[in-house]
Structure 1
Amino acid sequence: MGGADRIIRIIIAVIIGALYWQGIIEGILAYILMGLAAVFLLTSFVSFCPLYKLVGLNTCPRKLHNNKLDLCIKGYSNWL
């Protein structure tokens, strides 16, 4: 998971938490959004999103290493 993706997820989670705290969202919608916010925070902190893995999406920046393209996938390197 890339840095921008992590920051966006954290910001969305904080906004949802603030909306709940101020009573702007309530009821079932509040519980659903708070669950989503918890998932966003968890995936941001562990830098891994299982849904991205299922659909083959990678938001990590590509790095050039020894003239080969190194992809960031959960700390392992895949060479192209």
Structure 2
Amino acid sequence: MTINMGAADRVIRLIVGTVLILAPVFDLFGMTASTPAIVASVIAGIVLVLTAFFRFCPLYRVVGASTCKR
């Protein structure tokens, strides 16, 4: 895996991912009645946090994009 994410991209992904993971816990978006919305939120949050942790985005690789400075 080649690093293809810059620092700003990582920080944004970590913040948004953490919010999406914690949203069902604190009922931030009123999702208590919708199980599919809770599952989708947590999965999306985990993906964002993992891509930030590994500094690699598979979608960036497919489209040939990179936000890191070389």
Say yes or no: TM over 0.5: yes
Structure 1 runs of 4+ aligned residues shifted over 3 Å read: none
Q: Which has the higher strand share?
A: 1
Is structure 2 residue 35 aligned with structure 1 residue 25? no
Q: Distance in 1 between matches of 2:20 and 2:63?
A: 26
Is structure 2 residue 44 aligned with structure 1 residue 40? no
Q: Distance in 2 between matches of 1:56 and 1:43?
A: 16
Report Cα offsets for 1:21-69 as digits up to 9, x if no partner. Answer: 11332410110111010000111111001110001110002xxxxxxxx
Gap regions ≥5 residues in structure 2: none
Is structure 2 residue 19 aligned with structure 1 residue 15? yes
Q: Which has the higher contact order (CA 8 A, sep 6+)?
A: 2
Partner of 1:78: none
What TM-score comes out, normalization by structure 1 length? 0.70
Larger Rg: 1
Identity %: 34
Partner of 2:66: 58
| Aligned residue identity for 2:31 | I
Please give the root-mean-square deviation of Cα atoms over the aligned residues, in Å.
Answer: 1.2
Q: Which has the higher helix share?
A: 2
What TM-score comes out, normalization by structure 2 length? 0.79
